[in-house]
Structure 1
Amino acid sequence: MSCDTPSAGTAPGATPVPTGHMAVQPSSLYVASPVMLLATLNPDGTPNLAPASSYWALGSMACLGLEDGGQTYENLQSRPEITINFPSPQLLSAVGRLAGTTGRNPVPAAKAAHHRYVHDKFGEAGLTPEASELVDPPRVAECMVQMEAAVRHDRRGVGAYHIVEVEVLRVWAAPQIVADDGTNIASDTWQPCLDVFRRFYGVDSATEYRLH
């Protein structure tokens, strides 16, 4: 029985078969992960805001990958509530202003080469905090999709990170992207930002902001 690889172009519209694959070592395994802005509360009650891309969801639960030494994870130890905000492509510049900043003071040694301390993250990004209803951390007013969530499980990963499982308590959406049924999001009216191997993509353009 023959198992020969079909040749490219044997039928109209056929997808070319790649040949000669190479072993590579990309700096990230984010094939197409949503870009998020995570809001938590600092010990003094002010909000911290951090860009992130490690996310997946099942049912009402979402899993976040958070690094050791980050202010987001530290805040969740004492106040296990968070908002997950999904920026549109038009907010990529705001996301970029947060890249290379940290809410930790002093800056951890592992971040010292690439990060600087910023206390007012909302001000740094030029974004607006919006009061949440079920959790204390604010939402990001400019983000068309926002989630209020509470931590349910926290597991240490293999490396220097934690897998934090949160229960989404409420989802908010801008009226212009809500479907006619008033419940679902009309996905053809809005596009998230995607992190594809550390390159942030919007709908029509790509902007490079590296998240160290």
Structure 2
Amino acid sequence: MHQVVDLKVLYFGTPVVLISTRNPDGSANLAPMSSAWWLGDQCMLGMGTSSQTTRNLLRERECVLNLPSSAMVEAVDRLALLTGSREMTPHRIEKGYRYEPEKFGAADLTPVPSDVVGAVRVAECPIQLECELIDARPFDEGNRATAHTVRVVRAHVEEELIVGGTDHVDSLGWDPLIMKFCEFFGGGDQLQPSRLAKAWRIPQATPAR
């Protein structure tokens, strides 16, 4: 039997993306997000309008979408409540975010130069997509979120994930880090508690007996 529920979170499961952009001073910003989906060579990204990533993306009009594997969950979680913006909204302060200009160092990740765009890639991510911004528009009436459309201009994939003799990723070998209702999953299993879920007060499910 179905029950009518006023769902507080509509976050049924999407891949985590570490999006790297370039700050005004040329330094690197790195932020985890998972409101992303792909069609053809384009990707739609949903992000808070006030975020440093959105500001950088609108100014530089380029980024790198770094796709972490499930094995990278600890590094991603270290970034969960960090922001590259000195000016924090009351909402972020309430959730416990803190300003951190050195995101790569905080996550213990390695920046490497890109081929086409100015933003750096994350060396540890098995898949890295260099992208150019082609459109950005408000996602809601209050302009609290922005929908960005980017085009992939170059893809980097670990050799072991490429089906031999093709330009395709091995779907069995690729184990993406998934965020489902603000919790981390890989291979169908919950990997570890999420700082983001705690900040958002997402209730923990009761294990089946």
TM-score (norm: length of structure 2): 0.88
Alpha-carbon deviation of 1:199?
Answer: 1.1
Structure 2: unaligned runs, 5 residues or longer: 201-209
Question: Match for residue 189 of structure 1?
Answer: 173
The structure that has the greater radius of gyration is 1
Is residue 2:79 matched to residue 1:98?
Answer: yes
Alpha-carbon deviation of 1:100?
Answer: 0.7
Conserved in 2, the CA contact under 8 Å of 1:53 and 1:195? Answer: yes
Question: Match for residue 33 of structure 1?
Answer: 14
1:85/1:29 Cα in 2 relative to 1: closer, same or farther (>3 Å)?
same
Question: Match for residue 205 of structure 2?
Answer: none
1:62 to 31, 36, 43: 43
CA deviations 1:179-210 (Å, max 9, x no partner) are 11241111111110111111110124432321
TM-score (norm: length of structure 1): 0.87
Conserved in 2, the CA contact under 8 Å of 1:37 and 1:85? Answer: yes
Alpha-carbon deviation of 1:110?
Answer: 2.5
Is residue 2:182 matched to residue 1:198?
Answer: yes
Question: Percent same amino acid among aligned pairs?
Answer: 35
2:116 to 130, 134, 137: 134
Structure 1: unaligned runs, 5 residues or longer: 1-18
Conserved in 2, the CA contact under 8 Å of 1:33 and 1:55? Answer: yes
Query: How many residue pairs get matched?
Result: 193
Q: What amino acid does structure 1 have at the position aligned with 2:193?
A: E
Question: Match for residue 169 of structure 1?
Answer: 153
1:79 to 41, 60, 71: 60
> Over the residues paired in the alignment, what is the CA RMSD in angstroms?
1.4
Conserved in 2, the CA contact under 8 Å of 1:70 and 1:104? Answer: yes
Conserved in 1, the CA contact under 8 Å of 2:18 and 2:65? Answer: yes
Conserved in 2, the CA contact under 8 Å of 1:198 and 1:208? Answer: no
For residues 23 and 124 of structure 1, the distance between their equivalents in structure 2, rounded to whole angstroms, comes to 42
Conserved in 1, the CA contact under 8 Å of 2:61 and 2:133? Answer: yes
Conserved in 2, the CA contact under 8 Å of 1:83 and 1:138? Answer: yes
